[in-house]
Structure 1
Amino acid sequence: MTPSIKNMPQKFTAFRIHQNINGDNKTITSGFEKINLDDLTEGEVVIKVAYSDINYKDALAATGKGRILRTYPLVGGIDLSGVVVTSSDSRFTQGDKVLVCGAQLSELYDGGYSEYARVKANSVVNLPKEISLRDAMALGTAGYTAAIAIQRMEDNGQKPEFGPILVTGATGGVGSFAINMLAELGYEVVAFTGKTEQKDYLTSLGASRLLNRHDVEMGTKPLESIQWGGAVDNVGGETLSWLTRTTNIWGNIASIGLAGGIKLDSTVMPFILRGVSLLGINSVEMPTSVRTKAWQRLATDLKPSKLDVISPTTIAFSDLPNAFDAYVQGSVTGRTVVAIDDTLA
């Protein structure tokens, strides 16, 4: 049955995050609640949610380990896929299969951990026919961000003949997708990680070899010997500084993460003498045209060949609260999809 306003229940289940203030003390609580449509933040499109996923950011928000939300309360979940119930925007009609990723869900707006969502039309992407609702969330923000990084690098002239691409934070979601996508495009890919026990996983994705980050002498010269044709960096800090000094002429570095710090200690020499480009990757503030192109490529030439290896697990909506701690502790390898209504698939 196609979802419609007529058969939408008055109350539905959502996983909501609250901030509790007692004097100077602020605590975060979260859990399942029954809410109605008017409880959700404003938006032009109402969606019956089929799937969401779990990102590190989701776990931080739900557990209060990180200050992710900028207003309270909000429904958690930065990603969702589902079927349009109603839309006041002519780009979408009842029954359309759609997805939303990287649009400040569970930050400024209610997110995907809900049986129904109401979202801004400009954040919605029509689901490419080559991607299922489940696979859209197996990709999620991680796959989408990796695609944006590769797209920007190639738009700026990146080519396999420049040399190997180093992917840092290789076992994370973005790193895993970047390795697989780049390898499928014909690049030699080197995985930069401290988790050398994950060698079999990383090589199965397409990494030609591993580089143990604990064994690397990064040097201090303004320019070091060229080692990389380019890089997808999920770490930042000292690692990103080193990459600027060791990337080949006209190579590109896609800067995505800052787990290693926000400071960049570099000089202009790599950019002037080698023409290295440092590309900032922001998957949230993204023009609709770029967002749509990335998902079209995720359905075609950037579609990961190892999607089931990277995102092997699907859990029930009811099991969601029990899954966050492992993400906060960093003990999870591979992504988790959350089935909210898999009958829509």
Structure 2
Amino acid sequence: MGTFSAVQLLNSETGEVTVTELDESALPAGDVVVDVEYSDLNYKDGLTMAPGSALPRMLPLIPGIDFAGVVAESTHPRWTAGDRVVLNGFGIGTDRDGGLTQRTRVPGDWLLPVPRRFTTKDAAAIGTAGYTAALSVAAIRRLGITPESGPVLVTGASGGVGSVAINLLSALGYDAVASTRHVEAERESLRALGAVDVVAPTVPESNAGLEKARWAAAIDNVGSDVMTGLLGQLRYGGVVAVVGVAKGRKFTTTAMPFILRGATVVGIESVYAAAADRIAAWQLLDDALDLDRLESVTRTIGLADAAAASQQILAGEINGRLVVDVNR
């Protein structure tokens, strides 16, 4: 491949994005060259391409925090030409060129193999959102939450992380309860993903810090007063896996959920997660994810549509997962 197409962010102040042709000299540093087949769009990609974003660390920048494809060339001992690989995080798409491209080069230590039962398109549909969902489910399981512990609330349930979290929890036998602002409009689709119930966001009903205990655990994508509300509704020994702050970074609470109910809050960091945690998350996805349900909430677009679609994700106008076919 002499030249290849890629999305480029040219101006972070204005959010100017274009699709351009690049040559091999533009490839970033690394010891593995990958022919990318699919990327995807996450909330963070929308933030990166938004006008005035502070996330880009270089310009021009190829956005995209994920990719899946096939190794074209490698000097890394673990990878050979033809291997199917996936990459999530490690600063691609913000600190260095990312996955919205037909070809890239990366350090081989950042790559994982695509599980045999997944296509590269499946791996991109999972993406950072699904991998983060798996890290979250693994965290609540590690802290002792079992299906017998009680229902698990998933906030921002119709988004990328939320939809995969419900899929996984249901497949593992948990009673996953979906939380969304659009209960009636999204009830049927969220139940189809495996949710046993669909509820409006939990917001605090008092300043006491404790309310009626409902949830054995929660996976929170929203933050702000929704986080405050669900903390007060945790059962004894409950766990909240904090994934995102779509509504706001700040929340208020009291000590009561912690000293009277033994609540645990665990942060989920996916960008630089340890290799062992990444491997375990992808193994969990391989073991449990329902691919038919994933496909039902996945839409595919081309490189030319990626920038506009990323802003629709920010605006809350897109549910589920968006895969980018980089050759379309």
TM-score class, shorter-chain normalisation, is over 0.9
**Unmatched runs of 5 consecutive residues or more in structure 1:** 1-7, 21-25
Displacement of 1:320 in angstroms is 3.3
Deviations along 1:18-56, one digit per CA (max 9) or x if unpaired, are 227xxxxx4332111222233233122210001111223
Percent pairwise identity: 38
Deviations along 1:74-95, one digit per CA (max 9) or x if unpaired, are 1111110001112222111111
Report the Cα distance in structure 2 between the residues aligned to 1:268 and 1:89, rounded to whole angstroms.
Answer: 50
SS at match of 1:219: coil
Q: How does 1:1-345 map to 2 (within 5 A)?
A: 8-9=1-2, 11-19=3-11, 26-64=13-51, 66-196=53-183, 197-213=185-201, 217-311=204-298, 313-341=299-327
Report the Cα distance in structure 2 between the residues aligned to 1:322 and 1:149, rounded to whole angstroms.
Answer: 29
1:207 aligned partner, one-letter code: A
Range with bigger deviation, 32-41 or 150-159: 32-41
Match of 1:3 in 2: none
Displacement of 1:303 in angstroms is 4.4
1:259 aligned partner, one-letter code: A
Give the length in aligned residue pairs: 327
Change (3 A) 1:258 1:208: same
Over the residues paired in the alignment, what is the CA RMSD in angstroms?
A: 1.9
Report the Cα distance in structure 2 between the residues aligned to 1:324 and 1:257, rounded to whole angstroms.
Answer: 17
Q: Is the 8 A contact 1:163 1:188 kept in 2?
A: yes
Range with bigger deviation, 279-288 or 236-245: 236-245
**Unmatched runs of 5 consecutive residues or more in structure 2:** none
| Larger Rg belongs to | 1
1:87 aligned partner, one-letter code: S
Q: Is the 8 A contact 1:166 1:189 kept in 2?
A: yes
Report the Cα distance in structure 2 between the residues aligned to 1:56 and 1:260, rounded to whole angstroms.
Answer: 12
Q: Is the 8 A contact 1:18 1:29 kept in 2?
A: yes
Displacement of 1:248 in angstroms is 1.1
Change (3 A) 1:187 1:331: same
Report the Cα distance in structure 2 between the residues aligned to 1:330 and 1:269, rounded to whole angstroms.
Answer: 33
1:199 aligned partner, one-letter code: R
TM-score, normalised via structure 2 length:
0.93
TM-score, normalised via structure 1 length:
0.89
Report the Cα distance in structure 1 between the residues aligned to 2:307 and 2:155, rounded to whole angstroms.
Answer: 29
Range with bigger deviation, 96-105 or 64-73: 64-73
Change (3 A) 1:65 1:54: farther
Q: Is the 8 A contact 2:208 2:254 kept in 1?
A: no
Change (3 A) 1:213 1:243: closer
Displacement of 1:141 in angstroms is 0.9
Report the Cα distance in structure 2 between the residues aligned to 1:134 and 1:169, rounded to whole angstroms.
Answer: 24
Report the Cα distance in structure 1 between the residues aligned to 2:306 and 2:217, rounded to whole angstroms.
Answer: 37
Displacement of 1:330 in angstroms is 2.1
Report the Cα distance in structure 2 between the residues aligned to 1:181 and 1:254, rounded to whole angstroms.
Answer: 15
